[in-house]
Amino acid sequence: MPPVVVPPQPQQLSQPVASGQGLRPARATKIIELQSGIAWRGKWMPARFRNAKFHVDSAVRESGRRIVPHEYPKKEVPYAEDMGRRAREFTIRGYIVVYPRDVDGDDLKKKDYTIARDALIAALETDGPSELQLPLLGVMQVACTRYRITEENRAGGYCSFDMSFVEYGKAPVSGSRMSPPGVEYAATKLNAAGIAHAEAQLKKAAMASTVTAPPAVAT
């Protein structure tokens, strides 16, 4: 019996898989299966905020330039004035889910997911900035502006967090009134004002001491 000649197939992303019924069409290769697409895994880091860990579904970073457009009467060409970089903002969709067994030292891997949930809530409501570490966006100093937690009856043992953060940065040289730079700036101004006032008083007293009384007029 002559051999069966199989016509050439179009190029596919993965090789056909043999089965008892013959060849079945190859499925599309996933990105994570490509050798050229797994380099990012070496940079992956666990997500945390104030050491409270959570899983990340999506992470969005937003920034840009602070542009002030200027348009002039009787002119066809506008001018875009660059006022500096816009503060970076982060929108995170995170979640916490039950783990099949308890792992010592890791609140994220517990059969009781509320332990990690409550730890993250406390971290988000704590005063002041802290480090936010995201899987592929690195570590940055931020402050939490808002968060929302969602729990559903149909998804027991699971909760999701929608979190918003803003870049904390640093206070300007003058700072606020209660910041260390602000206190130092206010003290310097007060000291300078006191010295200027004292010098003015001394100068006034010196001038008064040199003024002689007018001669008496004979009657």
The pLDDT of residue 17 is above 70 = no
Residue 20's pLDDT band (boundaries 50, 70, 90)? low
**Please, what is the end-to-end C-alpha distance for the chain in angstroms?**
159
For the record, the structure tokens of 196 come out as 């200027």
Percent of the chain whose predicted confidence (pLDDT) is above 70 = 74
**What are the domain boundaries of the chain?**
42-167, 171-202
Please name the CATH architecture into which domain 42-167 falls: Beta Barrel (2.40)
**pTM (predicted TM-score):** 0.61
The beta strands (E) that lie in the chain are given as 17-19, 22-24, 47-49, 52-62, 65-70, 79-85, 89-97, 130-134, 138-150, 158-167
Using CA atoms, how far apart are residues 206 and 209, in angstroms rounded to an integer? 5
111 CB-near residues (< 8 Å, 6+ apart): 98, 99, 100, 101, 102
Residue 206's pLDDT band (boundaries 50, 70, 90)? confident
pLDDT in tens, 38-83: 777 777 888 999 999 999 999 999 999 999 999 999 999 999 999 9
